[in-house]
Structure 1
Amino acid sequence: MKISEQWINQWVDLKQDIDTTVSQLTMLGLEVDDVTPAGGEFSGVVVSEIIDCKPHPNADKLQICSVNAGDKQLQIVCGAPNARSGIRVPLARVGAILPGDFKIKKSKLRGEESAGMLCSEVELGLSEEGSGLMELPADAPVGKSMRDYLQLDDHIIDIDLTPNRADCFCVRGVARELATLNNLEYFEPAIETVPATTKDTVTIKIKSPQACARYSGRVLTGLNNQAQSPLWLKEALRKSGIRSIHPVVDVTNYVMLELGQPMHAFDRDKVAGGIVVRMAKDKETLMLLDGNEAVLDDSFLVIADEHNALAVAGVMGGLDSGVQPQTQDIILESAYFDAAQIMGKSRRLGTHTDSSLRFERGVDWQLQEQAMERATGLILEICGGQAGPITTVSDESHIPEQQTIHLEASHLKRVLGFEVPFERVTEIFEHLGFQVDRHQSGWSIKTPSWRFDLSIAEDLIEEVVRVVGYDQMPADLMHSDDVIHIAPEQQVVPMTIKKHLVAMGFQEVINYAFVAEKQLSNSYLDAQAYALANPLNKELAVMRTHLLPGILSNVQANRAHGELDLAMFEMGKVFNQVDNQELQQEDVLILALCGQVQPEQWGNTSRQVDFFDLKGHVDSLLTQVPGEINYQVSKLDFLHPGRQSEIFIENECIGHMGQVHPSITHSLKIKTPIYVAQLNWEHIKQRRLPLWQADTKFPSTRRDLSLQLPDSLDWRTVKQGIEQTISAESDVLRQLLLFDVYKGEHIEKGYKSFAIALIFQANNRTLEDKEVDKLVEKGVSFLEQNLNAVIRT
């Protein structure tokens, strides 16, 4: 928001330089982005009046003007198309210096002397465009310095406001803050009630009170459509970065900048019946003031008449119903809209307006009629005419309530770490417009209608410290009674996993949590996708349900730049909406491999990464995770149907792995296979603590078995069955290994052969063969009776 220093000084007499004001605004939390002069750097330019114009004898497009400069009459050669007798314009006299260090000298133009230059707004640095001389009001004092006349010894302050400080989107709010900081009196302009001189009224119907709880309207008739905005109004708008359009529009913009209440005016003749505030119809269209057609849906609030929409509430008015040069009768509106209803609507329409900027952050709900009176008085002053009574319709059940917050003096001191005098705290709250009820131990504060951001005692503490000044806080050593909790030893932090993966040759990537809907659908991952209501763009419109789309984009980008052998990982959140219920999120880790296992060289045969290379990396991550790890065949659509599996700890699935489905890589024009594994972080961050055990002094005994088993049996079933059977008899089974799997000659069709080793060892004795043989027989018996196994000799 841009605001001029002089305008602020009309509200509070600061009597300080601009650097101090800027510093104070920043310390108050109103960060200043830039400070610029109100006009170009020029001198020697005065108000003048053209007395007479005659054609230049030697040039078709030039005129010789007789100009009254105040103290004498000068001859000026001018080529501006609007140069004519009787108008008052800026004159740069001989010796004047214009922006760009351009010095005016006495010269001859096509043989005729010219003692100066008549100036346009562009030449004075007051505008970036213009086609003729800057025309001044007829009562502009001839001979007066243009800098003094336009009050250009001023500065324009560009403030970057945070979303919570909607109250400072106006001169009133900024001046209130500075008056509080400097403990100065605060002068609000007197806003007088404009009596109704006609009985013309507008009927108002609010059909969506939850979105518009208060709407005020007033009919103004008989306006002079030849009236022009006065120079002071144009200058106030120019310094705030707003172009002068029409006296009525200029006044509504001025009141918005002054008080913070956006307003709009309709051409009364273009409104059929009364005003209806309602939700838009699906696919309802409206041609906006900027010339773009808005296609609306039922999430938009509109201001309409009995037949058609007239404006998108809080964003922009319609072109057909707006004030035109011939307009004489208007309907002036001032409303309170729910901020949540307006939020994001201007972005969806591809536009940005000062009104939407204020409405979507929140407007004072008690300001509507006051702003109406202010605007009415200014319009009648400039354009004449008559005003009807103000019609206001409200639904008090949807009007916000002022909150009462209690703050204890002891709480204030404890949080700040130093004591602020009780009376000074009271002064701060009263200066800020709060209703203060003092009691022995603190304050009860009733928040004003323009402060939406205050709800708890800490909010009030922040108000105190930013006014007192963060730089005024005494230096003191920090102390705290808080206990620092140490993470359990068996819990691994993400950085440990990242270092492990980097040591294994992986590189970390970081992607947005938002993806394009097409990315998810192309990977068959869109079933539980959650679409954003107000995405930044269509490429970031959906919350990711899996880390696969992002890492595939990384692979695609790297391969496009010649990086073919890739090992990447990412840690992040995924979001799934199950059965249209609350959005669920979880932290996951994804690994991705593609290309050659090792860099190309003469000593090794080149080989592409495969499923088992990825499995080796997953196994290394899960080595210390408590519980038995096993892999089971899965049927995930985004993975190759024959090269995928789910990963289990005991009986709980913690992730999946496999080759990305060829149809997905083909659509990305990636010819090499890509292998990925995604693991749930909550399940892999736990570690089994190592326990020390003394080495046994007694030897181990090994028995090898060759088993013929049905092809459908997996190693996990066999292993668990043998371990449970032998462990029920004794605790001397130390290890069970599968060292060969065979299918082919001498093995029946539908069967396979497992070669296993059983290793036995006791801590307190040497095992005898008969004890080991007995345990082996128990295991074999289980295999034969329960798993249809046959011992091969």
Structure 2
Amino acid sequence: MLFSENWLRTWIDPQVDTDELAHRLTMAGLEVDAIEPAAPAFDNVVVAEVKSVRPHPDADKLRVTEVFDGETTWQVVCGAPNVREGLKAPLARVGATLPNGMKIKKAKLRGEPSHGMLCGADELGLSSARDGLLELPDDAPVGRDLREWLDLDDAVIELGITPNRGDVLSIAGLAQECSALFDAKLASPETRAPAASVTSTRAAGIEAADACPVYLTQVIEAIPARGETDMMIAERLRRAGVSTVEPIVDLLNYVMLETGQPMHAFDADRLDGDIRVRWAKAGEKMVGLNEQELTLEDDCLVVADAANPIALAGIIGSQPSGVSGETRRIVLESAHFTPEAVAGRARRFGLSTDAAFRFERGVDPSLPRQAIDRAAQLITELLGGQAGPVVEATGGRELSAPAAITLDMDWAERRLGLPVATDRAADLLTRLGCEVTTDGNVLSVVPPTRRFDLAIPEDLLEELARLIGYDEFRAPITRMTPEIGLPAATDNTTTRIGDLMADRGYFEAITYSFVDRELDAVITPDSPPIELANPIASQMAAMRQSLWPGLLEAVAHNQKRQQPAIRLFETGHRFAGSTAATARETGELAFVAAGHAAPEQWGQATRTVDFYDIKGDLEDLLEGLGLAEALAFRACEHPALHPGQSAEILVDGHAVGEIGALHPETLKAFDLKGSVFVARLSLAGIDARPLPQSAPLSKFPRIRRDLALVTPTSLAFRDLSAAIRAAGGEFLRDVEPFDRYVGEGVAEGKQSLAVKLVFQNDERTLTDDEITDTINHILEHLRQHDVELRG
């Protein structure tokens, strides 16, 4: 929001400079985003009157004028097309300096002396449009310094207004806020409603009382032909960032900026019958003032005559009923439209209007009468015309008064952390326009109708803190004995997990907790999506039941940008439950791998990630967490995973997650290319580990023996390893496969596995006979599992 500092000071003068005013507003929650001068620097420019104009003898596009500056008549050569006798325009005298740095000197232009320069608005920095000379009104005082007369020594202040403070979107609202902040007296302009001099009225009816409790109309007739908008009005509009359109429209915009009440004017001669406020009919059409055709829906509130909608209520009027330079009879509209009736409709049609901006945030329901009186006053005084009586329509719904809020000052002091006397609190809240009654140490506070944001005691606490000043609050010195807390040796923290994943080449990702409901259903089809009541986007309408959807979307994003190798992990919360209100959060680690298994190099062929890569990463992770001995896998079926490449992850026999390759249908749903492998672990299942045990390294040699074993292809290596370890005795340290063969020489349904066995005794060197006896015992035991030594 932009506003003129000088305009504000006509309502209230807090006796502080611009910087202090901006600081106090910012500290009160009305953040000042920028302060700019109302006009760039220039001097020695006065109001002047053109007395005569004649052609330049040697230049067709120039004119030689005689210009009176209040003291002397000067000859000035001018090339503006709109220069004419009797025109009042700015004159930069000899010695003046213009915003572009030009210094005005006495000169000869094509042989004719010129004493100064007649100026356009663009040359003075008041407009970017090059429309010739700036035409001043007939009553402009000749000889008066232009900066002084137009009040150009002013600052334009831009505020960042939060959505809950619609009450300060006007000079009146800002003045009331400053009155409370500075304890200064308001001096609002006097509103003199014109006496009804004609009997003409335009009846209005309300068919949607919940959306429009009150609707006022007033007819003004015999409005003379109009020229330009009053210069001071136009200047204040310019400084507020509002363009001038037409004098009637400009005055209504001025009233909106002054009071905060949006208004509209209809051309009375273009209306068909009485006015009604109603809900639109689905498919009904209206052409807006911006010439955009709107196809309305049945949740759009409209103002209509007997034939058609004439305005999208609180947003924009219709082009056929709008005022123009030929309009002589108008119907003023001043109404209270509820935020619920306006919110979202402007965005639906791609509209952005000052009226919608204010009505969406809430407008004081007491303003319509005040605003229509002020508008009628300005129109009749500045433009002329005869006003009829104000007609008020109500839909039978009484506007409810704000509810009283009880504020216990003992409670307030505990939460503010600052002693505040009851009388002082009552005074501060009264300055805001609240009605305050005191009963001992308890206040009963009725907020003003403009403050929709005051509803509970905590709101009043915030107001007290703002008015007292946040810089008055001093944090007490806290005395404490510092203690350094370290995680227990048995804790597996997310930091530790992150470090281990990074060691394996994974990058940490942080994805949204909200996901597309359809993608969520691909991963967890058996659990209905936990939908949000008001999602921020259609593709973020459900709370995630797994971390996989966000990671898989990240993989797809990277694949589309030609990333050859993708390894991502995330620790975060997943949600389980039937609704957002009842959802339970559980911690989860998820990771995903796709693309090249290793960077390309000349020494080895490039291969892509496979199931054993991500399984190895998982095993390394669990080893780093001290849970390698507790880790096991069990074949499972998961709707999002490939049935032949998926497993349940077990820790100490308890299921803690899943691992596998994505199902082809899952790849298609996420628009993924190639094979993608995923895993997930419940953080609760891996948050603790056995206390690490230390032991000295053995000084005796390790002995390796390799066995080529023929096993059924259905026998998982984990089962084979368990059988070998069961028969291998206490000196068997390691069992690892290093080759697999299927083909000629091996029966169908069989496979040849090459297995490395490592033996070691911590107290002596093992003998060959001991190793041979142990291996024979292992082979004898393996025959029970249909496993033979390959011949």
- Shorter-chain TM range is 0.7 to 0.9
Q: Residues 26-41 of structure 1: matches in 2 within 5 Å?
A: 26-41=26-41
The RMSD of aligned alpha carbons is 4.9
* Aligned position for 2:364: 364
Q: How much does 1:651 deviate?
A: 7.7
8 Å Cα contact 1:645/1:658 also seen in 2: no
Aligned residue type for 1:32:
V
Kindly state the Cα deviation for residue 119 of structure 1 after the two structures are TM-superposed: 1.0
Q: CA deviation at 1:662?
A: 8.7
CA distance in 2, matches of 1:519, 1:224: 65
Who is 2:163 aligned against?
A: 163
Partner of residue 256, structure 2: 256
Using the TM superposition, give the Cα deviation of residue 293 of structure 1 relative to its aligned residue in structure 2, in angstroms. 3.3
Q: Deviations over 1:530-549 (max 9, x none)?
A: 6997867x988998782145
SS of the residue aligned with 1:360?
Answer: helix
1:173 — aligned with what? Answer: 173
Q: Distance in 1 between matches of 2:480 and 2:447?
A: 32
1: CA distance, partners of 2:38 / 2:643: 70
1:201 corresponding residue in structure 2: 202
Q: Is the 8 A contact 1:75 1:114 kept in 2?
A: yes
**Equivalent residue number for residue 389 of structure 2:** 388
Distance change (3 Å), C-alpha of 1:683 and 1:385: farther
Amino acid in structure 1 at the alignment position of 2:661? G
| 8 A Cα contact 1:660 1:676, kept in partner | no
1:353 CA displacement? 2.0
Amino acid at match of 2:230: P
2:646–2:658 Cα contact (<8 Å) kept: no
Inter-partner Cα distance in structure 1 for 2:446 and 2:690 = 56
- Tell me what 2:699 maps to: none
Q: Aligned residue for 1:766?
A: none
Task: Give % identity.
Answer: 34
Deviations 1:518-537 (Å, cap 9, x if unpaired)? Answer: 9999999999596997867x
Instruction: Give deviations 1:118-166, integer Å, cap 9, x for gaps.
Output: 1111111111213111111111111111111101111111111122221
The one-letter code matched in structure 1 to 2:387 is: Q
Q: Is the 8 A contact 1:281 1:296 kept in 2?
A: yes
Amino acid at match of 1:177: E
Going from structure 1 to structure 2, the CA distance change for 1:111 and 1:215 (only over 3 Å counts) comes to: same
Structure 1 residues 661 and 577: CA distance shift in structure 2, 3 A: farther
Q: How far apart are the structure 2 equivalents of 1:544 and 1:294?
A: 38
Q: Partner letter of residue 569 of structure 2?
A: F
**2:617 aligned counterpart, secondary structure:** helix
SS at match of 1:153: coil
3-state SS, counterpart of residue 390 of structure 2 = coil
The 5 A counterparts of 1:402-421 are 402-421=402-421
Which residue in the other structure is 1:547 paired with? 550
Q: Distance in 1 between matches of 2:125 and 2:576?
A: 56
Q: Does 1:69 align with 2:72?
A: no
Q: Distance in 1 between matches of 2:392 and 2:411?
A: 46
Matching residue's letter, 1:550: E
> Where does residue 348 of structure 1 map in the other structure?
348
SS in 2 for 1:156: strand
Deviation by residue 1:57-113 (Cα, 9 ceiling, x = unmatched) = 222222111212111111111111111112211111111111122111111112211
Of 624, 628, 637, 1:634 maps to: 637
Judge conservation of contact 2:267–2:331 (CA < 8 Å) in 1.
Answer: yes
**Deviations along 1:439-480, whole A, 9 cap, x unmatched?**
211322111211122233232222122222222334631479
Deviates more, 1:348-357 or 1:150-159: 348-357
Report which stretch shifted further, 360-369 or 648-657.
648-657
What is the CA–CA distance in structure 2 between the aligned matches of 1:361 and 1:411, rounded to whole Å?
30
Q: How many Å apart are 1:225 and its aligned residue?
A: 4.0
- Indicate if the aligned counterparts of 2:219 and 2:389 stay in contact, CA closer than 8 A: yes
Describe the shift of the 1:656–1:446 C-alpha distance in structure 2 as closer, same or farther (beyond 3 A). Answer: farther
Change (3 A) 1:522 1:235: farther
Where does residue 245 of structure 2 map in the other structure? Answer: 245
Equivalent pair of 1:640/1:662 in contact (CA under 8 Å): no
The residue type equivalent to 1:49 in the other structure is E
Q: Which runs of 5+ in 2 are unaligned?
A: 697-706, 757-776
Q: Structure 1 stretch 338-347 or stretch 40-49: which is displaced more?
A: 338-347
Q: 1:577 to 1:125 in 2, by over 3 A?
A: farther
Distance 1:297 1:542 in 2: 27
Contact 1:272 1:307 in 2 (8 A): yes
Structure 2 residue 123 is the aligned partner of structure 1 residue 120: no
Q: Distance in 2 between matches of 1:736 and 1:377?
A: 98
Normalising to structure 1: TM-score of the pair? 0.80
Q: Which residue of 1 aligns with 2:221?
A: 221
Moved more, 281-290 or 15-24: 281-290
Do the aligned partners of residues 738 and 109 (structure 1) sit closer, same or farther apart at CA in structure 2, a change above 3 Å counting?
closer
Q: Work out the CA distance in 2 between the residues paired with 1:269 and 1:199.
A: 12
Asked whether the 8 Å contact 1:3–1:156 carries over to 2, the reply is yes
**Inter-partner Cα distance in structure 2 for 1:342 and 1:493:** 50
Q: Counterpart of 1:425?
A: 425
Between 1:511-520 and 1:316-325, the stretch displaced more is 511-520
**Structure 1 residues 688 and 544, CA gap change in structure 2 (3 angstroms):** closer
- The answer to whether the Cα contact below 8 Å between 1:25 and 1:32 also exists between their aligned partners in 2 is yes
1:48 Cα shift? 1.0
Letter in 2 for 1:611: F
Preserved CA contact (<8 Å) 1:493 1:685: no
Distance 1:310 1:625 in 2: 74
1:45 matched to which residue of 2?
45
Larger mean CA deviation between 571-580 and 104-113 belongs to: 571-580
**Equivalent residues of 2:122, 2:128 under 8 A apart:** yes
| AA aligned opposite 1:4 | S
Distance 2:281 2:297 in 1: 6
Q: Is the 8 A contact 1:738 1:754 kept in 2?
A: no
Higher mean C-alpha deviation, range 216-225 or range 483-492: 483-492
Q: Is the 8 A contact 2:213 2:337 kept in 1?
A: yes
Per the alignment, in what secondary structure is the counterpart of residue 444 of structure 2? strand
User: Alpha carbons of 1:427 and 1:321: their partners in 2 closer, same or farther (altered >3 Å)?
Assistant: same
User: Does the aligned pair in 1 maintain the 2:551–2:568 contact within 8 Å?
Assistant: no
1:140-199, CA deviations, whole angstroms, 9 ceiling, x for partnerless residues? 111111111101111111111122221111112211222222211122333344444424
The aligned length equals 752
Q: Kindly tell me: are residues 276 and 125 of structure 1, through their superposed partners in 2, closer, same or farther at Cα, counting changes over 3 Å?
A: same
Alpha carbons 1:590, 1:676 under 8 Å: kept: no
Q: In the alignment, which residue of structure 1 is the partner of 2:661?
A: 658
Read off the aligned partner of 2:506 and give its amino acid letter.
F
1:576-725 paired onto structure 2 within 5 Å? 589-601=589-601, 606-621=606-621, 630-634=633-637, 636=639, 642-644=644-646, 654-655=657-658, 657-659=660-662, 661=664, 664=667, 670=673, 673-677=674-678, 679=680, 683-684=684-685, 686-688=687-689, 690=691
User: What is the CA deviation profile of residues 242-277 of structure 1, one whole-angstrom value per residue up to 9, with x for unaligned ones?
Assistant: 111122211221121111112222223333333333
Alpha carbons of structure 1 residues 172 and 591: separation in structure 2 relative to 1, 3 Å:
same
Deviation at 1:345, TM superposition (A): 3.3
Question: Structure 1 residues 356 and 309 mapped into 2: Cα distance closer, same or farther (>3 Å)?
Answer: same
For residues 539 and 115 of structure 1, the distance between their equivalents in structure 2, rounded to whole angstroms, comes to 68
Structure 1 residue 517: Cα displacement: 9.6
Question: 1:106-505, aligned counterparts within 5 Å?
Answer: 106-196=106-196, 197-207=198-208, 209-226=209-226, 228-383=228-383, 384-394=385-395, 396=397, 399=399, 401-474=401-474, 476-478=476-478, 493-505=493-505
More deviation, 567-576/28-37: 567-576
| SS of residue paired to 1:436 | strand
Structure 1: segments with no counterpart, 5+ residues: 696-703, 727-731, 758-775
Secondary structure of the corresponding residue to residue 289 of structure 1: coil
1:381-434 residue CA offsets vs partner (Å, 9 max, x unmatched):
22322223222324537x565132222222232223232343332221111111
CA contact (8 A) 2:275 2:304 kept: yes
Deviation (angstroms), 1:290: 2.6
In structure 1, distance between residues paired with 2:491 and 2:450: 48
Q: Which has the larger displacement, 486-495 or 295-304?
A: 486-495
SS of 1:212's partner is coil
